[in-house]
Amino acid sequence: MKTKFKDIVLIVAIVIIAVAGFLMFSNVFKNTTYNMSLVIYNKEVVAEVDFVNKKVNILKQDELGYPKLNEVNNTITILGNSQGGERFELVIKYNYEKHSMQIIEEVSPKNICSSDGEQTARTITCVPNGVSITFSNDGEVDLDDII
């Protein structure tokens, strides 16, 4: 009888520790907000979105004029990597108030890039198109952020 009581107490203690750990880690990542976002194409920063000053800087354009900025719709359009000999546009929507980024249109297998949804802290990576979107407070990209 005592063994069962000790087992129950041990199980309850483990469950309490697990729930407390989950709540601590989920709050740490949920409350993170960044001042800017960097759009990276083929390991090179091509655009910066400054959420504080509400400004987008296109740092490098290709010969076709990509990335293209649409300030009316709050979007940045990038011409992604070649897929089967053809390059497709990838449209990124930014939101100054929420400090968020989202891929809203793209062509890739199963459209996995746009299924990530709106992000405020987690890096968005679209491997088929060679695009990643990171969040930063100082404008620097950590090596771990580039995939």
Per-residue DSSP letters for 73-105?
Answer: TTEEEEEEEEETTEEEEEEEEEETTTTEEEEEE
For the segment 9-27, what is each residue's pLDDT rounded down to a tens digit? 889 999 999 988 887 776 5
For the segment 91-107, what is each residue's pLDDT rounded down to a tens digit? 999 999 999 999 998 87
For the segment 31-69, what is each residue's pLDDT rounded down to a tens digit? 567 889 999 998 899 999 999 999 999 999 888 899 999
Domain formed by 36-145, architecture: Sandwich (2.60)
Q: What are phi and psi of 144, to 5 degrees?
A: -70, -20
Task: Answer for the pair 75, 88: CB distance below 8 angstroms, yes or no.
Answer: no
